[in-house]
């Protein structure tokens, strides 16, 4: 969680667990971390907080010895998809309900990834351990 005094400016959840039905068995063999939630308060929009949180997630992923930072977005949210592409993510594929692995349903099946890498994100990381992290 990113705080500005008592106000929550943004939050992100990073987990080693993929959402069921999105990534193939071969992809899941590659060490990865997954962004499940990224939210920036509209009061803080335009300040690059989301980009810095993605850098934090990529840095944490790198230090957990994982290869990929992965995420999924709504298939209907073109603006969000373009945002992730501008942040260095590459579109892997779009999973539809009929093509989902293990029965996953998906309006959130636009899959993207970028290599894990160290980053100077500017945050003081107060999370612990390589497991699920929220900042």
Give the distance from CA 49 to its chain's centroid: 14
The predicted model scores a pTM of: 0.84
- Give dist(CA 11, CA 20) in Å, integer: 22
Query: What would the pLDDT profile of 87-134 be if each residue is shown by its tens digit?
Result: 999 999 998 765 555 555 555 789 999 999 999 887 777 766 554 455
- Give dist(CA 76, CA 133) in Å, integer: 27
DSSP string for 73-85: E-TT-HHHHHHHH
- Yes or no: say if 36 and 14 are a contact pair by the CB < 8 Å rule: yes
Higher pLDDT, 3 or 132: 3
Domain extent listing, the chain: 2-117
Q: What are phi and psi of 74, to 5 degrees?
A: -60, 135
Q: Which helix (H) or strand (E) holds 63?
A: helix 49-63
- CATH-assigned architecture of domain 2-117: 3-Layer(aba) Sandwich (3.40)
Residue 1 pLDDT? 80
Query: What would the pLDDT profile of 26-66 be if each residue is shown by its tens digit?
Result: 999 999 999 988 999 999 998 999 999 999 999 999 999 99
The three-class DSSP label of residue 26 is helix
How many Cα atoms are found within 13 Å in the side-chain-facing hemisphere of 62? Answer: 13
- Give dist(CA 20, CA 108) in Å, integer: 12
């Amino acid at each position: 969680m990113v705080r500005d005094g008592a106000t929550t400016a943004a939050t992100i959840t990073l987990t080693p667990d993929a959402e069921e039905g999105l990534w193939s068995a071969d992809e899941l063999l590659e060490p990865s971390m997954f962004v499940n939630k990224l939210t920036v308060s509209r009061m803080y929009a335009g300040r690059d907080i989301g980009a810095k949180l993605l850098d934090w997630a990529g840095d944490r992923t790198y230090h957990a010895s994982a290869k990929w930072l992965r995420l999924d977005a709504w298939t209907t949210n073109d603006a969000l998809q373009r945002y992730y592409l501008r942040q260095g993510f590459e579109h892997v594929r779009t999973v539809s309900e009929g093509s989902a692995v293990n029965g996953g349903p998906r309006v959130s099946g636009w899959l993207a990834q970028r290599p894990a890498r160290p980053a100077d994100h500017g945050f003081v990381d107060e999370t612990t351990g390589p497991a699920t992290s929220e900042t």
